[in-house]
Amino acid sequence: MKVKLIEIAHGRSGDKGDAANVGIIAYDDKGYEIIKKELTVKRVKEYFEGVCLGEVVRYELPNLRALNFILHNTLGGGGTVSLKLDAQGKTLAAALLRMEIEI
């Protein structure tokens, strides 16, 4: 069955220079196993094609049932230089939570 990621997880995103960090947190242990399986670096990179122009790096935080993604070359040069409305990538966690995943 397919659901939107937002049904099993929440998250927060922000900026680190020209990279964005997107943290995704599962609501329970089962959800964490699902996001670990579904949110591969490859899928996240494809999902943000045209937004993230660099490498995607994934880190695991099992203690918080969370994954942290670093999206390099994403914010149009970073906080003060960027012309983007969302220059700090604050809405990118919400963008990822809209992804359809298999549960």
Partner 1 sequence: MKEKIRIASGQGFWGDLIEAPFWQVTSGQVDYLVMDYLAEVTMSILQKQKNKDPKLGYARDIPPLMRRILPICSEKGIKVITNGGGVNPRGCAEAIAEVANSLGISGLKIAVIEGDNINNRLDELIAAGAYLENMETGEPIDSVKDKLLSANVYFGAFPIVEALQKGADIVITGRTTDTGLTLAPMIYEFGWDKEDFDKMAVGTVAGHILECGAQATGGNFLGDWESIPNMEKPGFPIAEAYPNGEVVITKHESLGGAVTIDTVSEQLLYEIGDPTDYITPDCVADFTSIQLKDEGNNRVRMSGVKGKSYTPFYKVSCSYEYGYSSVATLTYSWPQALKKGKAADAILRKRLENLGCTFDEFRTEFVGYNACHGAAAKEVNEDEINEIMVRFAVRGNDYASVERFGKEIAPLILTGPPAVTGFAGGRPKPSSVVAYWPALIRKELVTPTVLVLEV
79 neighbors 87 (Cβ within 8 angstroms)? yes
Burial (CB < 10 A; 0-12, 13-18, 19+), residue 83, is exposed
**Is residue 1 near partner 1 by the rule CB under 8 A?**
no
**Is residue 14 near partner 1 by the rule CB under 8 A?**
yes
**Is residue 40 near partner 1 by the rule CB under 8 A?**
no
**Is residue 12 near partner 1 by the rule CB under 8 A?**
yes
**Is residue 10 near partner 1 by the rule CB under 8 A?**
yes
Which 50-69 residues touch partner 1, going by CB under 8 A? Answer: 50-51, 59-64, 66, 68
Give dist(CA 70, CA 58) in Å, integer: 7
Which of 84, 82, 75, 62 minimizes the C-alpha distance to 22? 75
Q: Which residues bind partner 1 (CB under 8 A)?
A: 10-12, 14-18, 21, 23, 25, 27, 47-51, 59-64, 66, 68, 70, 76-81, 83-86, 90-95, 97-98
